[in-house]
C-alpha cells in the first residue's frame, strides 16, 4: 500500500490524494514506474495520478517533503523515485542543504527552491521520461528479437 503524504497547506488544504480511497490511491500513485508491469491500464492510471499531482495545491510541499524524507515508493508531487533523486542532486548542486534531522525547516527551504525554479522539476521529469522511453525501446527490441533456441 502506498504511504500517503501528510501534506497540509497552512490554510488547511489537504493534498488531493488524501481524499481518494486507499485502493484507488494505490493504483494512481502506488508504483514508481508505469512500466512496472500491470500493462496499459496501470500505465494510464499512473499518468492520471501524475496529472492530479500537477494540479494539487500542495504539490511542491509534497515533493519537497518526499525528497527530504527520501520516500522510497510511489509517485509524490508528480514524480517517481528516480526523478526525485535527480531533482535532489540538482538542488544539492546549487547548495540546498538536506538535513534529515530537521525535516520541517529543510522541507520549507526545498519548497522555496522548487517554487522559484519550476524548470528544475520539468528537467527532472523530462529526463525521467527519456529514460523510460529508452527502457521501453530496449524491451520492445528484446521482445522482437527472434528466438535462437533449437529445441
Ligand atoms: S502532489 Fe500528488 S502525491 Fe502529493 S499530496 Fe498532492 S496529490 Fe498527493
Domain annotation covers residue 149: no
pTM: 0.83
Domain annotation covers residue 88: yes
Could you identify the atom of ligand 1 that is nearest to the CA of residue 5? 5
User: How many structural domains is the chain composed of?
Assistant: 1
Q: How far is the CA of 141 from the centre of ligand 1 (A)?
A: 35
Among the listed residues 28, 33, 114, the one whose alpha carbon sits nearest the alpha carbon of residue 66: 114
> What tens-digit pLDDT sequence spans the chain (151 residues)?
554 556 666 677 889 998 899 889 989 998 655 455 566 778 889 899 999 999 999 999 999 999 999 998 899 999 999 999 999 999 999 999 998 899 999 999 999 999 999 999 999 999 988 988 888 788 777 766 665 554 4
Q: Does residue 134 sit in helix, strand or coil?
A: helix
Q: How far is the CA of 63 from the centre of ligand 1 (A)?
A: 8
Domain annotation covers residue 130: yes
**CB of 53 closer than 8 Å to CB of 75:** yes
Domain annotation covers residue 119: yes
The residue range of the domain holding 36 is 16-140
Domain annotation covers residue 6: no
Using most ligand atoms within 8 A of CB, pick from 8, 16, 24 the residue to mutate for ligand 1.
16
Amino acid at each position: 500500500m502506498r504511504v500517503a503524504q501528510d501534506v497540509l497547506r497552512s490554510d488547511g488544504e489537504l493534498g488531493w490524494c488524501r481524499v481518494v480511497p486507499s485502493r484507488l490511491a494505490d493504483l494512481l500513485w502506488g508504483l514508481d514506474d508505469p512500466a512496472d508491469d500491470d500493462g496499459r491500464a496501470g500505465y494510464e492510471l499512473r499518468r492520471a495520478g501524475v496529472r492530479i499531482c500537477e494540479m494539487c495545491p500542495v504539490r511542491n510541499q509534497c515533493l519537497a517533503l518526499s525528497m527530504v524524507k527520501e520516500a522510497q515508493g510511489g509517485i509524490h508531487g508528480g514524480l517517481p523515485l528516480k526523478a526525485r533523486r535527480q531533482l535532489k542532486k540538482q538542488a544539492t548542486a546549487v547548495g540546498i542543504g538536506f538535513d534529515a534531522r530537521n525535516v520541517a525547516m529543510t522541507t520549507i527551504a526545498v519548497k522555496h527552491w522548487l517554487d522559484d525554479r519550476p524548470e528544475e522539476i520539468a528537467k527532472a521529469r523530462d529526463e525521467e521520461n527519456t529514460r523510460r522511453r529508452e527502457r521501453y525501446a530496449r524491451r520492445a527490441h528484446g521482445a522482437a528479437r527472434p528466438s535462437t533456441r533449437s529445441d
